[in-house]
Amino acid sequence: MAVKKLIIDGSSLNFDKIKFFLTENPEITLSPNSVKAVEQSRSLVEKWVKEGEVVYGVTTGFGEFANVNISRKDLKKLQQNLILSHAAGCGENLPPHIVKIMMLLRLNALAKGYSGIRLSILQLLINMMKYNIIPVVPSQGSVGSSGDLVQLSHLVLAMIGKGKVQIVKDILDEKAPGTKIISSATALKKFKLKPVELEAKEGLALINGTQMMTAFAAFVCLKAQRLIKLADVCASLSHEALRATDKAFDKKLHQLKPFPGQITTAKNILELIKGSEIRISHLENDPRVQDAYSIRCIPQIHGASRDAIDYVSSRVLIEMNSVNDNPVIFPGTEEHIEGGNFHGQSMALAMDFMGIALSELANVSERRTERMVNGALSYGLPRFLTKEGGLNSGLMIAQYTAASLVSENKVLAHPASVDSIPTSANQEDHNSMGSIAAQKCYKIMQNLENVLAIELLTAAQALEFLKPLKPGRGTFAAYNEIRKVVRPLKKDRLIFDDLKKVGDIVRNDSLLLAVERKVSLK
C-alpha cells in the first residue's frame, strides 16, 4: 500500500490538504526548497548572535522590554522564559483537531524560511503530528495581535517537555474513549522523541503568529463550503413540504441580478426539486402566485452567504500560506525587518463576516421550520405536524430549540473586531480580537448545523402528510437518508434522540453525500 504523503513548502497549503491531513494522518515531509530556506535563515541568525547584532527578540527582550539587551550567555534562557511567561491561558481546552491544525499551520509558516529556526524544531512538530501527540491548549488569553501568543506558548510548552498533551486516537472525535491528559515529557519519551532546548530566536519564531485563529478559520471554511450546499438541500425540502412555487428560481430572473452565489443557489434548488410530483400538484391545484421571503428569496439570502463564504475562504487561504511572525529574516539580503505580520486584523474581519453569513443561514432556516409547524402558515399541514394535536405536541418544541440557537447566534455574530484593548504597557495599543472572532464563528457554525438538522427533521415529517406524492430527485434522496436514521413521528416520543441522529448525518456529511450522488450541486 502506497504511503500517503503531504509535502509542506510554505506556499501551497489549501483546504483540501487540511481535510486530507485530518482524515488520513499522512506522512508529512518538507520540500527540498523549504529545507534549504530554513537552513539559510538559521545560519544568518547564528551569525548575528556571534557578531552581537541587535535584533528584536533575539538579543533583546520582548514587547516593552525591546530596549533591554540580553547577554549572549542568557539567550537560551531568554527563549525558555518567553514560553513559560507567555503560557498564561485559561478556560476550556481547544479541541484536538484545532490544535493539530495549529501545528500544521505553524509548520507551514516556518517552512517558508523567514523565521530563523533550526530544522530540528520543525522535525519535532512533524513527529508529534505523526503520532497524534496533541498539546493541551487553553482556549482563552489571546487578543489576536502579537499573534496567538498564549495558545502557541502552550503548544511550545509541550515541545520543550514542560506541558501537557493528549495522545489522540481519532483526531476528529473530541470524545474519543481512552484519551488521557499526560505530561509531554512522558509522551515524547514513549515515542522516543526528545524535548527541544530552544536557542536564539526560536521561542519567538514559534509563538509569534496567527495559527490559533487561522486554525479555527480554516476548519470553519472547510465546513462552511459544505454547509452552504446543505442549506440549499434543507431549503428545497422545506420548499417541497410547503408546496411552494418554483417561479422565483427562474434563471432569467437571476441573470438580472447576477451575484454568483444567487445564481448558484437558484440553480441548486431547481436541480434538487427536479421531477417532483409535489410540484406538479402545486401547478395544477394551488392558486398561490408567490411565497413568503424565506422561500421566495432563498437565492438572494443563501446566495449572499455563499458569496461571503467564498470571500472569507480566499482571505484564510492567504493567511495560511503567509509569514506571520516578527522579526522577519531575509537571508538573501541579510536583513532582519521588525514589523507586524503577526497582527490578526485580516482574520478578525474575515471571521466576523463569516459568523454573520452563517448566522443568516440559520435565521432563514428557522423561519422555514416555523412555517411548516405553524398551522396558519403551512397551507394545510396539521399544526406542529402531528395528527392528534393536543394529546401530542409534535415538533412544537423542536422549533423552540431552533429559535433559541438563532437568538444565541445573534449575540455571537456581534463583531469582535470592532473592539480593541491595549496590552504590553501600550506598546501593543491596537489588538485585533481575531482569536475571539474565530472562536465565536466556530460556535455559530455548530449552532447552524443543529438548526439545519431541525429543519430537515421537520421537512421530512411534513412530507409524510403529502404522500403518495413524491418529492424531487435530490429532495427525495435527502428524505430517504433522514428516514434511515429516524422513523416518521406518529405520536410523541423523545425528540432529543431524533435531533441527535439527524445532527449526526449533517455533521458527518452522509446526508449531503447521498444527495450529491443523485444531483450535481455547486
* Region of 161 on the Ramachandran plot (φ > 0 left; ψ -120 to 50 alpha; else beta): left
Alpha carbons 378 and 371: distance in angstroms, whole number: 5
Distances in Å between the Cα of 175 and the Cα atoms of 148, 171, 212, 501 are 25, 10, 21, 17
b/e burial code for range 255-287 (CB count within 10 A of at least 16 → b): eeeeeebbbbbbbbbbbbbbebebbeebeeeee
Alpha carbons 149 and 212: distance in angstroms, whole number: 9
What are the residue numbers of the active site? 56
Q: Is 68 helix (H, G, I), strand (E, B) or coil?
A: coil
Contacting residues for 261 by C-beta, under 8 A, at least 6 apart = 302, 303, 304, 305, 306, 307, 308, 310
Instruction: Return the C-alpha cell found at 345.
Output: 486584523
Distances in Å between the Cα of 211 and the Cα atoms of 150, 199, 216, 470, 480 are 11, 22, 9, 48, 40
Q: Which long-range contacts (CB under 8 A, 24 or more apart) does 172-176 make?
A: 172/22, 172/23, 172/97, 174/95, 174/96, 174/97
Distances in Å between the Cα of 172 and the Cα atoms of 2, 104, 118, 168, 502 are 23, 15, 31, 9, 18
Alpha carbons 239 and 233: distance in angstroms, whole number: 10
How remote is the C-alpha of 436 from its chain's centroid?
13
What is the DSSP code string of 144-164?
SSS-SHHHHHHHHHHHTT-SE
